[in-house]
Structure 1
Amino acid sequence: MSYLYLTILFPLIGFVLLAAGRNNLPEKVSAIIGVGAVGLSALFALIAGMDFVNNGSVSQTQHLWTWFSAGNFAPGISLQLDGLSLLMMGMITGVGFLIHIFAAWYMRGEEDFARFFSYFNLFVASMLVLVLGDNLALLFLGWEGVGLCSYLLIGFYYANPSNGLAAIKAFTVTRVGDVFLLIALFLLYQEFGTLHTATIVENAHTVLAGNHSLAIWTALMLFLGAAGKSAQIPLQTWLADAMAGPTPVSALIHAATMVTAGVYLTCRTYTVFQMAPEVLQFISITGAVTLIVAGFAALVQTDIKRILAYSTMSQLGYMFMAVGAEAYQAGLFHMLAHAFFKALLFLSSGAVILAFHHEQNIFKMGGLFKRNKFLFACFAIGGGALAAIPFITVGFFSKDAILGAVWVQGQNVALYNCLYWTGVVGAFLTSIYTFRLIWVVFFGEEKTPYHEIKGVTYWGPLSILLVLSTAVGALLKEPVAKILTSAKIPMFNVPEALESGMHNAEYTAVGIALAGLVVGIILFAFAYKAVKAFANTCFGAGLANILRNAFGFDALYNIVFVKPYLLLAKILGRDPIDNLWLVLPAIVEGGHKFTSSRQTGSLREYASSMSLGVVVLLMILIVIQVVGK
């Protein structure tokens, strides 16, 4: 436990050294610092975890110092280690370390190599602060830290304006969610008098019991904050554009860090949500809608990274369905499984991109099976886990547990029965677009010359992730359940009478996912000409355009928010308030110009003006006399 702070300290030291050295550090030195810092963090995370388990898995807190003091509010820089934070810490440092190793290979020869790894180290440190902080103020510090790092890394290639815009978009959209989270923190502090997480979790059932309306608003604000980070509708539009950054960035954001923050927050504060069942239902609905929208969008994408981005959005939808169904442990294990196979898929896609000379369009690749069977194995296992191929992939053991739990809830609340079938449809779509991706890249006609790739820092991390994405990764399910139970994250209880029905529901989901695989094989391996012919029709082209743009959320937000904001900014840029006060001097100036123009020096004009004035005065006097009588 005494080593816990070192898990954060090493990446912070790495960040400082790399940021200070920048262009003065050789590439090898930068790689050693950047990778070594996270490696040491993972090592001490392992040591702290072993101590935690050996000491009976009892929650422990390490107080370092008081952050600041304002009246009765004095949040500490204190780190908490329990089952949930141990799971998150292991995932962040373990998967993050593998991504750092791969990044040292992938970014070789790139400009600003040290700058890249400085941001990478800060990202890991910020995420660790988020999950290890024992209070929500410290969590919010890490929350904003990962938001900043995502902006810096998504816009890493800032010379391209579109990359800068993507970074700004990610920063802005997630800031909307952050505002909701901040409101939730204000509400919690008002009611509990503290932001200490354990105090809030333990007392939520009593403090919020007397004010159901407050419980609903607090839970809703917490979820909307989580939705921003975890790319759930309506705050999902940033995730696909985040692919502008280098591929290892996509792997780190999508697998081990930023997008998992929202799932962690909702599970960490689960008792607050239990006091608002309506919000739990809303969370499941949001997750279900998100996974369907993302699934359809992934069907027609041509960029290999955008396909995987929409698949991430879809899998996060499953996790939030689990949270809404109160199957927290199932959602968290799927988060861990997703970290394995999504890191594998993103890093493998990075290798594919380099092999095809930085080409990202899958229809300009092709024929890779003959060239690199190792990458095919990585995609086959990673894609199989994504599609939850039964028994041999870790995704089967995590996703089907979620669908089974949602089905059980559907026996009491009809809404969840509908959500179960929505999740099944999502699994069907996942199988189709996953097969499409693998078939086109590995078995399509070769369009771009293949470039040989090699190196232990390339295949080493992929090999480890490949093994963890198989059924071997499922061996972690019971240990994860034990440490989560020790953290008082409740298990999902299935009534004995529903156990058989739940298993049947899981088998149904597996069967439909396999049917999706068969449909994918038919469409893309045997009937691709018919698919292309349909895509060239007016209806097909229009439908593809709608799906490619993910149902037009960007266009809608552009009309509703962006354009009115730009118009308002343009109006205010001219400072209308200041211009209003300029009316008075304008009147005076106009009067001055008019009277000045009358000073001509002509006696004839002066005499005429005086005569006109006398006539006007006489007329006024006559009118006054008449009115007076």
Structure 2
Amino acid sequence: MSHQALIAILLLSPFVGFLLNGTRFRSQNYVLAGAIATGAVFISFICSVMLMMNLIDSPAEQRRLTANFFEWISVGGFKVNAGFVVDQISSIMILIITGVGSLIHLFSIGYMHHDKGVTKYFAYLNLFVFNMLILVLGDSLLTMFVGWEGVGLCSYLLIGFWFSDAAKAAAGMKAFITNRIGDAAFIIGMFILFFSFGTLNMFELNALAPTTVEASWLGAATLGTLMLFIGATGKSAQVPLYVWLPDAMAGPTPVSALIHAATMVTAGVYMIVRLNPMFVAAPNTMMVIAIVGAITAVMAATIGLTQYDIKKVLAYSTVSQLGYMFLAVGVGAFGAGMMHLMTHAFFKALMFLGSGSVIHAMEGEQDIRLMGGLKKYLPITHFTFVMGWLAIIGFPFFSGFFSKDEILWFAYSSARGSVFLWVAGALGATLTAFYMTRLMALTFWGKSRVPKEVHPHESPWIMTIPLIVLAILSVIGGFIGVPHAISEYLGHIPNYWEHWLEPVIRKLPEVAGEHSVSEEFALMGTSVTLALISAFAAFRIYTNGKGTNEQIAKALGPVYKAVDNKYYVDEAYFAGIINPLVKQSQNLWMYIDVNFIDKTTHVISDMTKGAGSLARSFQTGNMQQYAMYIGLGVVVVLTFVLMR
């Protein structure tokens, strides 16, 4: 089968699944709906594997499979094709989207079987996958933007899936509006790049990227990439547009695993890696990206320390881990950023689905203060969750260890890195180990605090199989990208990840005086030691009753209160932006709409009505009155004639 046919099937399979379930959206046959949706995504996964094999069999310089299906836009010299490309970067993304997506669809069959809108839910999931594939396969920024907006729509539909609940509907609207702010900047960035370079094709833009860096903030590459990054802060939940993602936990839990862990929220990272030559030419933009990523990683991690909703803890963890990815690409470690994107997809999807298994067992309860000791009731969920926990805290030789420490090393040693960025990254890792161990302790370990009326039980096989597969990937996934400093101690395992991406990644200039391997080991040992000490401290505090959050809150006072209230960011947005906008809108409505437009239309309508009433008074049907009017008319005409 040709690669064009494989790309077509890859894209259309989930869309067909959407149509099949969408036309029968009222059906409550969850088995049929789930089978259609899961099968559609699995077919796409098979196509992804076959396309990846085609790339592997090709020479490194020829690893690009293209498919131009038709001419989409042709205006003068501006032409955009419905073109899609599978190369080293997009092949990774489609394997994650369809592979992890298939597991999440399978899990959803068991998790959503009781829901009356289950068929509609699966239709939305398939539509999301279809749009996500357009996003990562599109060969131009405009095609990417179609998928970019498509996943935004699907995110709105899935977050607000239970829209009869006002809070859940509001969470969907919050996500939609926040993303539109970033998307407006994305559009501006596209205009800047098009008017500066004459194309929106991403491969042509990369070829036209300046070979010398722009020192000015007003350069075309700098302004264009900066606007694109602002778009990424909305889609990928970075400071200051991160506020939608924690509220997005209002949707079904598998939605959180698919959208807010493995796929949509990583779109901004993918976009930057795809356009890495253009971003390398804009060091000011990359500096902003690195700083924002570092701030996001630390800030979200601190908020995670105080959350009690199991999904909210994972939500802030996701924001923090996305910060690590942006820190990586900001210092030019594009390969490390993509590596963390992949490993995070494994272990965070695992933990979101694991939280779904816990919620299923707890009959809907999400407060970890009402859990504890669940490992004896949920042995498979507990064991797989432990694998995800070890991966996210960077325990040696689990997947997160390789990607996280590679990011920290580049944050320090890169030409655009610094010791301050390394400190921020190490602090984020230390905090992550603490709050994730706190989550484990309060949920699975220690004494049971489960209410007597709740009877926890392990999830069915259709939910535990995806957990097992993701747990395996969370353990071994990092071995395809073993850093050079470690590989010689592991039998000289090649860094397959680096070799795979090398042809499509523009490297930064080397730092004068290369850093030593001993220096890398020292930093690695420091970060790992800090994380392990932090994890042990959390274990001691939250499993044996020697400490509680109340005691910590009392000790830290206003600092804890600020963190517990998420630094009052939402309140600041309402006080400084939303409420003033609403007030000004009300004023504009009162003075312009009500007092001017409405009154003007009322006056005009009254005048028209009065003129109509006057004209109607002449239409009485009385012949004598008509004769009188005719007589008066004759008199007036004769008088006018005689006066002349």
Q: Which amino acid aligns with 1:64?
A: F
Q: Secondary structure at the match of 1:574?
A: helix
The 3 A distance-change label for structure 1 pair 516 and 579 is same
Counterpart for residue 181 of structure 1:
186
> Please, which of 229, 235, 238 is the counterpart of residue 232 of structure 1?
238
CA deviations over 1:132-173 (Å, ceiling 9, x no partner)? 001110000000001000000000010100001000000011
Aligned-pair CA distance for 1:124? 0.6
Aligned-pair CA distance for 1:350? 0.2
Counterpart for residue 17 of structure 1:
20
Counterpart for residue 487 of structure 1:
504
| Whole-Å separation in 2 of the counterparts to 1:98 and 1:489 | 34
Q: Secondary structure at the match of 1:66?
A: strand
Q: Percent identity?
A: 37
Alignment of 1:604-623 (within 5 A): none
1:364 and 2:382 equivalent?
A: no
Counterpart for residue 4 of structure 1:
7
The 3 A distance-change label for structure 1 pair 12 and 531 is closer
Counterpart for residue 503 of structure 1:
521
Q: Which amino acid aligns with 2:66?
A: T
- Residues 133 and 139, structure 1, Cα contact 8 Å, conserved in 2: yes
> Which deviates more from structure 2 when the two are superposed, residues 280-289 or residues 437-446?
437-446
> Please, which of 324, 330, 333 is the counterpart of residue 324 of structure 1?
330
CA deviations over 1:278-315 (Å, ceiling 9, x no partner)? 22111111011111110110001000000000001111
- Residues 523 and 531, structure 1, Cα contact 8 Å, conserved in 2: no
| Whole-Å separation in 2 of the counterparts to 1:24 and 1:530 | 47
Q: Which amino acid aligns with 1:573?
A: W
1:557 and 2:573 equivalent?
A: yes
Q: Secondary structure at the match of 2:69?
A: strand
| Whole-Å separation in 1 of the counterparts to 2:363 and 2:253 | 14
Q: Secondary structure at the match of 2:381?
A: helix
Alignment of 1:360-399 (within 5 A): 360-391=366-397, 393-399=398-404
| Whole-Å separation in 2 of the counterparts to 1:421 and 1:209 | 28
| Whole-Å separation in 1 of the counterparts to 2:368 and 2:227 | 40
Counterpart for residue 122 of structure 2:
117
CA deviations over 1:8-42 (Å, ceiling 9, x no partner)? 10000111111111114622211111111101111
Question: How high is the TM-score relative to the length of structure 1?
Answer: 0.88
Counterpart for residue 615 of structure 1:
none
Counterpart for residue 421 of structure 2:
419
- Residues 184 and 222, structure 1, Cα contact 8 Å, conserved in 2: yes
- Residues 388 and 396, structure 1, Cα contact 8 Å, conserved in 2: yes
Aligned-pair CA distance for 1:583? 8.8
- Residues 355 and 452, structure 1, Cα contact 8 Å, conserved in 2: yes
Alignment of 1:340-489 (within 5 A): 340-391=346-397, 393-409=398-414, 416-446=418-448, 447-448=450-451, 449-475=454-480, 478-488=495-505
> Which deviates more from structure 2 when the two are superposed, residues 497-506 or residues 321-330?
497-506
> Please, which of 141, 146, 152 is the counterpart of residue 146 of structure 2?
141
Q: Which amino acid aligns with 1:262?
A: G
Counterpart for residue 53 of structure 2:
50
Counterpart for residue 612 of structure 1:
none
Aligned-pair CA distance for 1:461? 0.8
The 3 A distance-change label for structure 1 pair 120 and 471 is same
CA deviations over 1:56-80 (Å, ceiling 9, x no partner)? 2521211001112222222111111
| Whole-Å separation in 2 of the counterparts to 1:407 and 1:289 | 16
- Residues 481 and 497, structure 2, Cα contact 8 Å, conserved in 1: yes
1:284 and 2:290 equivalent?
A: yes
- Residues 360 and 459, structure 2, Cα contact 8 Å, conserved in 1: no
- Residues 86 and 137, structure 2, Cα contact 8 Å, conserved in 1: yes
Aligned-pair CA distance for 1:442? 1.0
> Please, which of 172, 192, 200 is the counterpart of residue 197 of structure 2?
192
Alignment of 1:149-164 (within 5 A): 149-164=154-169
Q: Secondary structure at the match of 2:85?
A: strand
The 3 A distance-change label for structure 1 pair 17 and 583 is closer
- Residues 428 and 513, structure 1, Cα contact 8 Å, conserved in 2: yes
Aligned-pair CA distance for 1:525? 3.0
- Residues 31 and 117, structure 1, Cα contact 8 Å, conserved in 2: yes
Question: How high is the TM-score relative to the length of structure 2?
Answer: 0.86
Q: Give unpaired runs (5+ residues) of structure 2.
A: 483-494, 607-644
The 3 A distance-change label for structure 1 pair 208 and 365 is same
